[in-house]
């Protein structure tokens, strides 16, 4: 037993989930993608806060705001819609003033943006659905912020003149007294940001409260969170000052004080004027815990207090008055617990302890652990599924599931490592399944996340291959001649990058909606990580999969939504054409009525096809 524990420790194993009921029921593909008769994920109970901080199981019905939007002046101009393709934390286009008398709205002018045709099969002879799609290095949208009355009459427009006309205006925030509007202004190259203050009544610029710059990128993701103490002090979050996304207490006179001095990413939750509540990765990058810190007169008082004690990933919902919070958590072997705690962390009520939804199914052994990054500077986290009825004297095929892109964290200390049920399904069918995060993903600090700067695919592929090789070195029961890889979107880009950069290593690959060349991807996301084809020609050439098509080996399937307005079909079709030119076999399957992600019957069809492809060729 001690020898086994030592082996696990050396291998970086943090937790294991035992195999159980190997001869019991197996998952269906429909169940694994959330389309079965019942859910195979842990039960949850609906809980909400009312405006007066009372718990209810009924979603509160709030009165829908009544306002009108300005009438657009011409084609390509819209008011009150989300802008910048929902980057920078943007998820809407209307911002009501706290006093309810006015609204700030985005005005988006994308008349200069190229119209991109998506093929529409629904008419008698077929046709095109035209969308505005700003590709890297090409014309982008022009954004402004207007202040309107509730009838849609424009009262003022914020007088923003920073940088260039294709700047980004993000995280629009009203002051508590409705007199001012704050905007984080980012230049198009996303290397500079000014946090500006404007008068709401006439749009005049007041001052720049702070500025940030970064040779890699700046990416503001949060609005300002004003303290509920009748002051003009607010909470600001950035990773650009101390290397991690931390919280800073600021005021409109440009004073800035760090209030979460930890080498970990944190996220704001709430405040009551006395305490600021936030979640933090400081216990572990794969755990999420709630903390609070006391603030008084613009300074912190005492040390932060941890409010969630149980190991795992906690998702919290604070009552409006910050008197208590709903705590939903799970960990690797705990399917889920829902409880209510006081603001100081005292347990008030345990609402639900979820049962294991896989009790009646064959459960495979699952492992959570770490593996060194390719540069040796970080530990990357993984989850590993062993095949049903595992016998170390036998040989098994390996499937690597990969995403690997920004804003993702595939592995954490939640139930079964944040399982996707298709992974369990494939393990039930006799496959080893491996999932790993790599440099470039989130919740690990700026150095980790920005390792991909200007060279998407390099650090990510290196880390994935390092992890796979470390697994192979300790797992003689994996058949080296039967290794497959699958991923979607950025994961599709990673799937094809892994196969073309390592010819002969992967026997089967399935890529969905893959980015093939970043010059065909949209401005906001793509230019953040890659800059433009003109300013970073080496990076674009090195990451492009077009010149690598000749190196494709094994059986490769590419799936594509024909109506995909995120990774447009030009990507995969161009790759297929290059394969034709090079005489390289490749399979391509379209979903004529689907966008970037398949839903409903199409999703079941997709995963039946993916499953069958591995069953047939791996």
Compute φ and ψ for 573, nearest 5 degrees: -65, -35
DSSP reduced 3-state for 26: coil
Which pLDDT score is estimated for 6? 46
Average pLDDT, the chain: 96
For CA atoms 216, 221, 227, 232, the dihedral sign is positive
- pLDDT at residue 537 is higher than 80: yes
Confidence label for 553 from pLDDT (cuts 50, 70 and 90): very high
Three-point CA angle 608, 611, 615, nearest 5°: 130
- pLDDT at residue 7 is higher than 70: no
Average pLDDT of the segment spanning 528-541: 98
- pLDDT at residue 5 is higher than 60: no
For CA atoms 141, 182, 298, 210, the dihedral sign is positive
- pLDDT at residue 611 is higher than 80: yes
- pLDDT at residue 9 is higher than 60: no
Q: How far apart are CA 329 and CA 345, in angstroms?
A: 14
The pLDDT tens digits of the residues spanning 413-467 come to 999 999 999 999 999 999 999 999 999 999 999 999 999 999 999 999 999 999 9
- pLDDT at residue 159 is higher than 70: yes
Which pLDDT score is estimated for 66? 87
Q: How far apart are CA 37 and CA 35, in angstroms?
A: 7
Positions marked active-site: 489, 564, 596
- pLDDT at residue 241 is higher than 80: yes
Return the HEC string of 48-74.
EECCCCCEECCCCCCCCCCCCCCCCCC
Instruction: State pTM to two decimals.
Output: 0.96
The pLDDT tens digits of the residues spanning 352-378 come to 999 999 999 999 999 999 999 999 999
- pLDDT at residue 112 is higher than 80: yes
Least confident of 34-43, 138-147, 273-282, 397-406: 34-43
Q: How far apart are CA 205 and CA 489, in angstroms?
A: 40
Q: What count of other Cβ atoms lies within 10 Å of the Cβ of residue 461?
A: 21
- pLDDT at residue 189 is higher than 80: yes
- pLDDT at residue 264 is higher than 60: yes
Q: How far apart are CA 116 and CA 134, in angstroms?
A: 9
Which pLDDT score is estimated for 412? 98
DSSP reduced 3-state for 2: helix
Which pLDDT score is estimated for 10? 57
Which pLDDT score is estimated for 3? 45
Token pair in block for residue 80: 């009150």
Q: Domains, the chain, ranges and CATH?
A: 14-41+357-617 (3.40.50.1820), 72-110+142-223 (no CATH), 231-356 (2.120.10.30)
- pLDDT at residue 25 is higher than 70: yes
Q: How far apart are CA 444 and CA 378, in angstroms?
A: 9
Contact between residue 80 and residue 137 where contact means Cβ atoms under 8 Å apart = no
- pLDDT at residue 4 is higher than 60: no
Which pLDDT score is estimated for 8? 57
Give the rounded percent of residues in the chain with a pLDDT score beyond 70.
Answer: 98
Which pLDDT score is estimated for 326? 98
Q: How far apart are CA 193 and CA 184, in angstroms?
A: 7
Compute φ and ψ for 404, nearest 5 degrees: 80, 5
Average pLDDT of the segment spanning 509-534: 98
Burial 143-172 (b: 16+ CB within 10 A, else e): bbbbbbeeebeeebebebebbeebbbbbbb
């Amino acid at each position: 037993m001690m020898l086994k524990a030592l082996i696990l420790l050396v291998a970086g194993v943090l937790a294991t989930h035992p195999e159980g009921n190997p001869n019991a029921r197996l998952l269906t593909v429909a169940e694994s993608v959330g389309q079965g008769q019942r859910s195979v994920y842990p039960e949850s109970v609906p809980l909400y806060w009312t405006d007066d901080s009372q718990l209810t199981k009924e979603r509160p019905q709030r009165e829908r705001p009544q306002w009108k939007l300005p009438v657009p002046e011409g084609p390509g101009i819209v008011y009150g819609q989300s802008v910048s393709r929902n980057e920078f934390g943007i998820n809407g286009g209307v911002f009501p003033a706290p006093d309810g008398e006015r609204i700030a709205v985005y005005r988006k002018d994308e008349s200069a943006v190229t119209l991109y045709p998506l093929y529409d099969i629904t008419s008698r002879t077929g046709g095109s659905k035209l969308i505005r799609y700003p590709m890297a290095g090409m014309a982008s949208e022009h954004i402004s912020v207007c202040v309107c009355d509730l009838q849609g009459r424009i009262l003022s427009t914020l007088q923003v003149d920073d940088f260039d006309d294709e700047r980004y205006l993000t995280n629009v925030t009203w002051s508590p007294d409705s007199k001012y509007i704050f905007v984080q202004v980012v230049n198009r190259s996303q290397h500079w940001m000014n946090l500006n203050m404007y008068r709401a009544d006439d749009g005049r610029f007041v001052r720049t409260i702070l500025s940030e710059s970064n040779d890699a990128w700046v990416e503001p993701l949060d609005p300002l969170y004003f303290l509920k103490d009748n002051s003009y002090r607010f909470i600001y979050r950035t990773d650009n000052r101390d290397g991690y996304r931390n919280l800073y207490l600021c005021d409109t006179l440009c004073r800035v004080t760090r209030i979460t001095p930890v080498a970990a990413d944190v996220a704001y939750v709430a405040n009551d004027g006395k305490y600021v509540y936030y979640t933090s990765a400081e216990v572990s990058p794969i755990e999420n815990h709630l903390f609070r810190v006391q603030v008084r007169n613009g300074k912190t008082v005492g040390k932060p207090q941890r409010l969630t004690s149980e190991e795992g990933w906690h998702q919290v919902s604070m009552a409006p008055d910050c008197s208590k919070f709903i705590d939903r958590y799970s960990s690797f072997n705990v399917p889920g617990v829902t409880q209510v705690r006081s603001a100081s962390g005292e347990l008030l009520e345990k609402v639900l302890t979820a049962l294991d939804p896989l009790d009646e199914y064959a459960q495979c052994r699952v492992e959570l652990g770490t593996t060194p990054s390719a540069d040796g500077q970080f530990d990357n986290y993984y989850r590993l599924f062993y095949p049903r009825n595992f016998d170390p004297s036998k040989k098994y095929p390996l499937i690597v599931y990969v995403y690997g892109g920004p804003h993702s964290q595939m592995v954490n200390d939640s139930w079964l490592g944040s399982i996707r049920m298709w992974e369990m399904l494939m393990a039930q069918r006799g496959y080893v399944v491996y999932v790993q995060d790599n440099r470039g993903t989130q919740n690990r600090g700026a150095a980790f996340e920005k390792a991909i700067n200007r060279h998407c695919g390099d650090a990510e592929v290196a880390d994935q291959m390092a992890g796979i090789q470390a697994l192979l070195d300790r797992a003689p029961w994996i058949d080296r001649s039967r290794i497959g890889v699958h991923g979607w979107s950025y994961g599709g880009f990673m799937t094809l990058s892994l196969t073309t950069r390592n010819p002969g290593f992967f026997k089967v690959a399935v890529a969905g909606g893959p980015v093939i060349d970043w010059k065909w991807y949209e401005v906001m996301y793509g230019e953040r990580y890659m800059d433009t084809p003109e300013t970073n020609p080496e990076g674009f050439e090195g990451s492009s999969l077009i010149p690598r098509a000749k190196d494709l080996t094994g059986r490769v399937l590419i799936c594509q939504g024909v109506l995909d307005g995120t990774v447009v079909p030009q990507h995969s079709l161009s790759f297929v054409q290059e394969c034709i030119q090079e005489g390289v076999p490749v399979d391509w399957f379209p979903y004529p009525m689907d966008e970037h992600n398949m839903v409903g019957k199409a999703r079941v069809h997709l995963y039946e096809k993916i499953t069958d492809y591995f069953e047939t060729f791996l």
